[in-house]
Amino acid sequence: MAQVLPDERELRRVIGDGDTIADGEVEGLGEQELVDLYRSMVVLRTYDERSVVYHRQGRIGTYAIFWNHEAMQAGSVYALDRDDWVFPSYRESAIGLLRGMPVETVLSWWRGHPSGWWNPLDYNVASICVPIGTHVPHAVGLAWGKKLRGEKTVAVAYFGDGATSEGAFHEGANFAGVMKAPAILFCNNNQWAISTPVSAQTAAETLADKAVGYGMPGVRVDGGDVLAVYEATREAVERARAGDGPTFIEALSYRAAPHATADDPSAYIDMERVEEERQNECLGRYARYLWRIGVLTDELEEQIRGEALQAMKDGIAAAEAEPSADPELVFRHAYVNPPPSLSEDLAELKRVLGNE
Amino acid sequence: MAQVLPDERELRRVIGDGDTIADGEVEGLGEQELVDLYRSMVVLRTYDERSVVYHRQGRIGTYAIFWNHEAMQAGSVYALDRDDWVFPSYRESAIGLLRGMPVETVLSWWRGHPSGWWNPLDYNVASICVPIGTHVPHAVGLAWGKKLRGEKTVAVAYFGDGATSEGAFHEGANFAGVMKAPAILFCNNNQWAISTPVSAQTAAETLADKAVGYGMPGVRVDGGDVLAVYEATREAVERARAGDGPTFIEALSYRAAPHATADDPSAYIDMERVEEERQNECLGRYARYLWRIGVLTDELEEQIRGEALQAMKDGIAAAEAEPSADPELVFRHAYVNPPPSLSEDLAELKRVLGNE
Amino acid sequence: MSEKTLVEAINECFHVELERDDSVMVMGEDVGRAGGVFRATAGLRDRFGPDRCVDTPLAEAGILGSAIGLCMAGWRPVCEMQYDAFSYPCLDQLITHVGRYRWRTGGAMEFPLTIRMPYGGGVRAPELHDDSPETYYVHTPGVKVAIPSTPADAKGLLAAAIREPDPVVILEPKLHYRTMRGEVPDGEHVTPLGKARVAREGSDVTLVAYGSMVPLSEQAADELAGEASVEVLDLRSLKPLDEDALLASAAKTGRVVIVQEAPRVAGFGAEIAAILAEKAILDLRSPVLRVTGYDVPYPYWQIEDAYMPSVERVTDAVRKLLRF
Amino acid sequence: MSEKTLVEAINECFHVELERDDSVMVMGEDVGRAGGVFRATAGLRDRFGPDRCVDTPLAEAGILGSAIGLCMAGWRPVCEMQYDAFSYPCLDQLITHVGRYRWRTGGAMEFPLTIRMPYGGGVRAPELHDDSPETYYVHTPGVKVAIPSTPADAKGLLAAAIREPDPVVILEPKLHYRTMRGEVPDGEHVTPLGKARVAREGSDVTLVAYGSMVPLSEQAADELAGEASVEVLDLRSLKPLDEDALLASAAKTGRVVIVQEAPRVAGFGAEIAAILAEKAILDLRSPVLRVTGYDVPYPYWQIEDAYMPSVERVTDAVRKLLRF
Ligand SMILES: Cc1ncc(C[n+]2csc(CCOP(=O)(O)OP(=O)(O)O)c2C)c(N)n1
Ligand SMILES: Cc1ncc(C[n+]2csc(CCOP(=O)(O)OP(=O)(O)O)c2C)c(N)n1
Ligand SMILES: [Mg+2]
Ligand SMILES: [Mg+2]
């Protein structure tokens, strides 16, 4: 009888603790690649921290913080080819930055400005998915459709621990298994769905256990270890490209910040635990690793951080310089061929607003 | 690390084949109980076979045949207390007969007559669920709700292999795990969802594997072996009543008849395989077992079959003797307090029909 | 031209469109091996292979959700929902994604998907095989809706939907799948969305209908022959709606009865009445009446006739208007 | 009486009703530990325990589906959907079961469940936090719908829903959760379903509205002071609907503008217009107009004001009627 357990129930780790746990390494990642990965994480971290500030300053709207999720996002995207597709949730709102999307695009999204809507084909990054879990079947359909066309594209859907409770997740995962879709179901298990702990979300021992029911491998990885995330994703990509179908990756992490700017977690989370997690956050862990293996220097660190910060400054300036959106856009883009009533409505609105 | 595999991936069996596989027995089942079980199966088999005839005679409408599913239904219900709840799908339409529901009620349901609608509280048998998988959360909710009230009631939801693909199944199963609901998810895996084989339904190796993802035991049982079904269900009931939560039971069987009277399976099923399965159908298997252990006699067999047949004759006569339904019933029962517009509609219809 | 049943016309449309455009694919429960429970997709799997006529798992949200991804990969999926009431699990994907994804990309991507399903009652079926869910679809932004009433339109509207760059929902009157026969153009045949059809000309009263309510309305018109000259307007497409045809007919007759199988409250017929109340108030010589299903679950079939709009109820409504 | 915000009134209602009837329970995402993302359920978990104020898994169909089972076990569950657009996954359970189960038992069982959710736009939120989905609910047989526009009604209608033996959906105008304050009766307070409220008396034109469109309509009425005497009718309950109040107001003014935030096509406002076109045609001195959202996804928030019915659009419609 074949093994149906998730591939690994223990968490994969590469990065040590500088003390009792030894550092590992990932084959194929040279110094250049290690620095690239670091840069990706800094870009994301900088985006996130600045966004919280911009929100406080009233320059962007409600914002879903992804502090301490950078390793999961950067590590996994780094394992993809440029042709591979990324399906983000709101928690991965800035993941497009890793594909060359301008900072102002993402900021504009959070500013409720139409220039925040991008063409997914430009980056192979799907639109941000707000309703939980509902994009899992999209990613699976894309992967399946590409496979039907004989292309080698892989699609990754990102979602949280809470998302695994939704029917849409289930239906998408099951389709992926049946269609042997080259898809990766990447679960950011940050252990909270707003105020609901993962223990109230499912009775499964691990989220990776769910993979068994879809006939796909389930992998568990330390979501704070960017190298482990990279490696696990790369293996999943290889499997997918070899025609061996989908993989479920559970990246275990901890939400060490509020759910979003509007949220006050002190009502439901033990803030001491949060503080502990903050001490062990993923960027610092990776930086210390790079220091230990002699890849990072003060100079390099400063340069990378400086560039990221500058990009944010330019980005917010560009976003704020966007001309205010044309209200007529309300009527655009819903249809290729709009029903006549919609044109009438537009004409009527223009008349009322005296713009006609 | 705890074992997360379904309890058993091999099929449980009790009944032998009279040849190389030895007969087993189930503790606690004496001769009387064994005959009771046999009677239950005969009642169901007779109901089913007569219904197909009645359908051909135009006396009932489209009918979902459950030939060769009797062991799963009778075996599992026999493991329940009268207070426990049963949530049937259309495939278990006659399961209420095992709880004293009159034959004519079930026949009336298939005749599209309002006297086929019953009060679930009379039998602790929920209404027949037509939309696939959607009753799983109902059963779970009932079990959870009874538990909250301090009652010891168990609820069983019956559904097919196809149902495991639906989001509603998933959400219900996950709730069951989280709430530790005293529920049993009983999957009749007859290996077909109309024309779709289970291999096109899921990539999971077994359906019981799905239990892992909900943190509940998954059990596999030979669905053609009424004693194995009884035993597995009884264990699940004991677990539930002990406060240990839900169980997923996969009963493996084969749909050895068309999906429903309107269906022609020869278009998609290998009819030789069906013939093989028909040779090994569940009632015959149990009867041969009872003969081997000396419980069944020609006389008893004839008596039980005769009674079941008579009940059907009386049932169809009673169903056909029902006065034709009052069209006013269209307006009844949707609301406790109907909106005024509905009373207007009724008055209007009566006026048009000249009944006022 | 050849005579076909409504469901044969649909099947022929599939054969033509899958042959014509190899990005068209069909997916749903039992559409492949079995050729659909009504045989609407018969022969497609054998002819075009199991990748272009796909038996999916039993999961309507999964079907529609993955169809969105298929569109992104360049396919034009046609999703079958096995019955009207079994389409409800896909509503979430429809409302939150199908109708919004193009908009969300700033108009950069197209989602040329079609959802089709048998709809409506009168077929002596168990519960939940009889719904008329068009209102849920029409009310959803970004989604178009068409409902044929003849075999020719069943073929033509489906072809239009498949070729349309916007998502389209097609409801097919299952009551007439096999009982209605009609002349159907051979080969490629497209009935444009947004054009109503005057099924019968008349000058005293207009019956506005779609789908299976069209032949019923024609029967009512027959019944009223001698009493009143009844026009029957077959909307064919609910969105885009042919308002011109609606208003022209109302202007001509001044009396309108809307016939709709779905429950009345907030059903699509209300939209028709509302358009008339806004744009035809001076043309109307009498109230606008609706003959509809009721605000109750579709009933057990022994009494379903009491629920369904009937010739009697329609003629009664027309006579009311004539007497007004 | 004490002054409360709209969401405080809801919270108070919960405290009163859970105290009053120990079969009432609250369930949903984040309703317990966090007290709801808008704090509508604050304090309930501490006071009544985690079994009567339940943080559920993130699964709307699971919430509503298990609530059906809870009803069968004797509970009166109040299900929160966290936002309007996140209620769509529960539509299947709503349409196929919540609205039909009692009927299916021949009237033997009751399903006294309440579904409540914040609805509507204007709050500068990301996509899908702004929908007005009432039409999907009102069109569904077996389900009642109420939408409060004041803190007092928010408390009273929720209490009515909780006590009602039929399933009720309550949409709460989230725009006014914290910005609208009003006098709210202390202790038990029930606003009966099916009774509209004349929010403002007038004689020239009637504005028919509900939820957040009521204060907007009142503003429009202010704006028109001197020009026209405007009546504002707050429907409060969409099903059962207070037709008498609607027809009485239409008879008095002869001019009606319906104000609805949801997309116009086949929205609930059409039902109001259709009722008028049927039953008030001789009273109407002018067309019935609808000022509504559009047939497009609710827009990104920087331009949401162009989508939302505005005082300008309402006054423009009123002036059109006055000129007619
Ligand atoms: C279908 C749906 N229901 C509810 C919500 C409201 N909501 C937004 S985030 C969230 C929690 C999500 O938790 P999880 O899946 O763990 O992702 P995380 O936010 O932790 O990354 C909820 C309930 C939603 N967006 N979509
Ligand atoms: C939600 C839903 N989708 C589709 C259908 C149509 N349908 C009826 S039976 C069936 C197959 C069910 O297969 P399975 O779950 O294996 O149960 P079985 O009939 O084999 O007992 C389908 C697709 C339905 N009843 N409900
Ligand atoms: Mg989470
Ligand atoms: Mg089956």
Q: Which ligand is closest to the CA of B190, given by its number?
A: 4
Q: Do residues D109 and D156 both lie within one domain?
A: yes
d(CA A331, CA A313): 32
The number of domains in chain D is 2
Shared-domain flag, residues A59 and A194: yes
- Digit-coded pLDDT (tens) for C211-224: 999 999 999 999 99
Alpha helix locations (H) across B67-153? 70-78, 103-110, 120-123, 136-148
Strand residues in chain B grouped as ranges (E) = 85-87, 155-160, 183-189, 192-193, 196-197, 218-222, 247-252
- At residue C55, the 3 state secondary structure works out as strand
Together in a domain, A351 and A236: no
The percentage of chain A sitting over the pLDDT mark of 70, rounded to a whole number, equals 97
Domain CATH number, residue C214: 3.40.50.920
**Cα A183 from chain centroid (whole Å):** 15
The question of whether C15 is a catalytic residue gets the answer no
Which residues in chain B have Cβ-Cβ distances shorter than 8 Å to D169? none
Whether residues C28 and C50 share a domain: the answer is: yes
B54-71: per-residue pLDDT in tens? 999 999 999 999 999 999
D69–B339: do the CB atoms touch at under 8 Å? no
Contact between A204 and A220 under an 8 Å Cβ cutoff? The reply is no
Alpha helices in chain A (DSSP H): 31-56, 70-78, 103-110, 120-123, 136-148, 167-179, 226-241, 271-279, 282-292, 298-321, 340-352
Which residues have a Cβ under 8 Å from the Cβ of A120 and sit 6 or more positions away? A126, A127, C72, C105, C108, C109
Asked if residue B163 lies in contact with residue B171, where contact means CB atoms within 8 angstroms, the answer is: no
Q: Quick one: D313 and D204 in the same domain?
A: yes
Yes or no: say if B125 and B135 are a contact pair by the CB < 8 Å rule.
Answer: no
How is residue C310 written in tokens?
């009937």
In-domain check, residue D123: yes
Mean pLDDT for chain B? 95
B268 chain-C contacts, CB cut-off 8 A: 33-34
Instruction: For residues C314 and C207, state if they share a domain.
Output: yes
- For residue A305, what are the contacts with CB-CB under 8 A and spacing of at least 6? A42, A46
Q: Are residues C171 and C221 located together in one domain of the fold? A: no
Residue of D23, D66, D246 to mutate, interface with B, max B Cβ within 10 Å = D66
Q: Which ligand neighbours the alpha carbon of C90 most closely?
A: 2
Q: Which of residues 188-207 of A touch B (CB under 8 A)?
A: 200-205
Does the N-terminal peptide bond of residue D192 adopt cis geometry, omega within 30 degrees of 0? no
Dist CA A62 CA D179 (whole Å): 18
Are D238 and D215 contained in the same domain?
yes
| Residue identifier of the C-alpha nearest atom 4 of ligand 1 | D86
Q: Per-residue confidence at B1, pLDDT binned at 50, 70, 90?
A: very low
Residue B215 sits at φ, ψ, to 5 deg, of 65, 35
- Rg, Å, chain A Cα set: 21
Task: Fill in the DSSP letter of residue A131.
Answer: S
In this structure, are strands C76-80 and B247-252 parallel, antiparallel, or unpaired?
unpaired
Q: Which pairing describes strands B85-87 and D181-184: parallel, antiparallel, or unpaired?
A: unpaired
* Domain housing C54: 2-184
| Residue D190 belongs to a domain | no
Cα A163 to averaged position of ligand 1 atoms, centre (Å) = 7
Q: Max CA-CA distance within chain C?
A: 60
User: Is A352 found in the same domain as A252?
Assistant: no
Query: Which residue CA neighbors atom 7 of ligand 2 most closely?
Result: B132
Q: What is the DSSP letter of B325?
A: P
Strands (DSSP E) contained in chain C are 2-5, 24-28, 53-55, 76-80, 114-119, 144-146, 168-173, 181-184, 197-200, 205-209, 230-234, 237-239, 256-263, 289-293
SS (H, E, C) chain D: CEEEEHHHHHHHHHHHHHHHCCCEEEEECCCCCCCCCCCCCCCHHHHHCCCCEEECCCCHHHHHHHHHHHHHCCCEEEEECCCHHHHHHHHHHHHHHHCCHHHHCCCCCCCCCEEEEEECCCCCCCCCCCCCCHHHHHCCCCCEEECCCCHHHHHHHHHHHHHCCCCEEEEEEHHHCCCCEEEECCCCCCCCCCCCEEEECCCCEEEEECCCHHHHHHHHHHHCCCCCCEEEEECCEEECCCHHHHHHHHHHHCCEEEEEEEECCCCHHHHHHHHHHHHCCCCCCCCCEEEEECCCCCCCHHHHHHHCCCHHHHHHHHHHHHHC
For residue A114, what is the DSSP state? Answer: G
Residues of A within 8 A of C69 (CB-CB) are 137-145, 155
- Domain around B123: 3-325
Q: Among C291, C197, C289, which residue's Cα sits nearest to residue C237?
A: C197
Within this chain, do residues B251 and B341 fall inside the same structural domain, yes or no? no
What mean pLDDT comes out for the span A115-139? 98
| Type of residue found at B250 | E
The closest-lying atom of ligand 1 relative to the alpha carbon of residue A133 is 1
pLDDT at position B6 over 80:
no
pLDDT of residue A354: 83
Whether residue B271 sits in one domain with residue B194: yes
Final residue of a structural domain among D162, D184, D206: D184
CB A39 within 8 A of CB A302: no
- Is residue C191, in this structure, part of any structural domain at all? no
CB neighbourhood size of D181 (10 A): 15
Q: Give residue-wise pLDDT tens across range D221-242.
A: 999 999 999 999 999 999 999 9
- Element at C190 (helix H, strand E): none
Domain identity same for B333 and B253:
no
Choice among D129, D139, D176, D189 that is catalytic = D129
The predicted structure's pLDDT at residue B5: 47
Residue A231 has, within 13 A of its CA and on its CB side, a CA count of 20
Q: With contact defined as beta carbons under 8 Å apart, do A215 and A152 qualify?
A: no
- The set of long-range contacts for C179-183, using a CB threshold of 8 Å and a minimum separation of 24, is C179/C5, C180/C5, C180/C6, C180/C150, C180/C151, C180/C215, C181/C3, C181/C4, C181/C5, C181/C151, C182/C3, C182/C4, C182/C6, C182/C9, C182/C150, C182/C151, C182/C152, C183/C1, C183/C2, C183/C3, C183/C151, C183/C152
Shared-domain flag, residues B214 and B356? no
Distance from CA of C220 to the nearest CA of A (A): 31
Asked if the structure places residue D65 within a domain, the reply is yes
> Is D192 a domain residue?
no
pLDDT, chain D, mean: 98
C179-209 residue pLDDT tens: 999 999 999 999 999 999 999 999 999 999 9
Output the ligand 1 site: residues, CB below 6 A.
A 91, 130-132, 159-163, 188, 190, 192-194, 255, 259; D 29, 58, 82, 86, 89
- Cβ–ligand 2 distance for B91 under 6 Å, the answer yes
Q: Are D43 and D90 in a shared domain?
A: yes
The β-bridge relationship of strands D256-263 and C181-184 is unpaired
**Same-domain status, B194 and B340:** no
pLDDT at A7: 53
Of D39, D44, D58, which to mutate for an interface test with A (greatest number of A Cβ within 10 Å)? D58
For residues A311 and A348, membership in a common domain is answered with no
**Mutate which of B62, B90, B130, B132 to test ligand 2's pocket (most atoms within 8 Å of Cβ)?**
B132
SS3 for A265-296, per residue?
HHHCCCHHHHHHHHHCCHHHHHHHHHHHCCCC
| Tokens, residue D109 | 């069982």
Q: Could you say which residues from 83 to 112 on chain D have a Cβ atom under 8 Å away from some Cβ of chain B?
A: 89, 92-93, 96-97, 99-110
The model's pTM is 0.98
In a domain, D101, yes or no: yes
The reply to whether A298 and A340 lie within a common domain is: no
- The widest CA-to-CA distance across chain D, in whole angstroms, is 60
Which residue bears the tokens 């992998």? A219
The verdict on residue C190 lying in a domain is no
Instruction: Determine contact, residues D78/D67, Cβ cutoff 8 Å.
Output: no
CB contact under 8 A, B202 and A216: no
Structure tokens at D147: 């939408």
According to the model, what pLDDT value does residue B3 have? 35
Query: What mean pLDDT comes out for the span C141-148?
Result: 98
Catalytic-labelled residue, pool C129, C139, C176, C189: C129
User: Which one-letter amino acid corresponds to residue D223?
Assistant: E
Question: B197 and B57 share a domain?
Answer: yes
Suggest the residue from A171, A214, A322 to mutate for an interface test with chain C (most C CBs closer than 10 A). A171
Place of tokens 């008055």: B347
Contact list in C for residue B345 (CB cut-off 8 A) is: 264, 294-295
Distance from the alpha carbon of residue B132 to the mean position of ligand 2, in angstroms = 5
Q: C162 and C220 share a domain?
A: no
pLDDT above 50: residue D302: yes
Phi, psi (rounded to 5 degrees) for D62: -65, -40
| Average pLDDT of span A50-57 | 98
B160 Cβ closer than 6 Å to some ligand 2 atom: yes
Task: pLDDT band for A328, please (50, 70, 90 cuts).
Answer: very high
A276-305 pLDDT per residue, tens: 999 999 999 999 999 999 999 999 999 999
Per-residue model confidence as pLDDT tens digits over B284-302:
999 999 999 999 999 999 9
What pLDDT is stored for residue A3 in this prediction? Answer: 35
Q: Are B117 and B176 within one domain?
A: yes
How many angstroms separate the CA atoms of C276 and C292, rounded? 17
Q: What pLDDT digit, counting tens, does each position of C104-137 carry?
A: 999 999 999 999 999 999 999 999 999 999 999 9
3-state SS class at C46: helix
Between B343 and B139, the more confident residue is B139
- Domains identified in chain A, total number: 2
Beta bridge partner(s), residue C116: C80, C170
Sequence-separated (6 or more) residues with CB below 8 Å from residue D259: D207, D208, D209, D213, D216, D217, D269, D290, D291, D292, D309, D314
Pick the last residue of a domain from C126, C161, C184: C184
Nearest beta carbon to residue B119 from set D99, D100, D106:
D106
Ligand closest to CA B192 = 4
Q: Looking at the structure, do residues D177 and D230 belong to the same domain, yes or no?
A: no
| Residue listed under structure tokens 């799983």 | B136
Subunit contact D267:C139, Cβ cutoff 8 A: yes
Same-domain check for residues D180 and D201: no
Neighbours of B54 (CB within 10 A): 22
Neighbours of D282 (CB within 10 A): 11
> Which residues are CB-contacts of B165 (< 8 A; sequence separation ≥ 6)?
A171, A174, B133, B201, B202, C57, C58, C59, C62
Distance in angstroms (rounded) separating the CA atoms of residues D119 and D121: 7
Residues C165 and C209 in one domain: no
* pLDDT of res. B356: 54
Domain membership flag for residue C203: yes
CATH code of the domain covering residue C145: 3.40.50.970
pLDDT of A1 above 80: no
Is B215 in the A-facing interface, judged by CB distances under 8 Å? yes
Tracing tokens 């491998």 back to the chain, one arrives at A217
Question: What is d(CA D289, CA D321) in angstroms, rounded to the nearest whole number?
Answer: 8
- Same-domain check for residues C150 and C119: yes
Neighbour-count burial for B70-96, b at 16+ CB within 10 Å, e otherwise: bbbbbbbbbbbeeebbbbbbbbbbbbb
**pLDDT higher than 80, residue B9:** no
How far apart CA A35 and CA A304 sit, in angstroms, is 9
How distant, in Å, are the alpha carbons of A346, D212, D299 from that of A327? 10, 22, 10
D280's tokens: 């008030």
Q: In this predicted model, what pLDDT tens digit does every residue of D57-85 receive, in sequence order?
A: 999 999 999 999 999 999 999 999 999 99
Give the CATH number for residue B196: 3.40.50.970
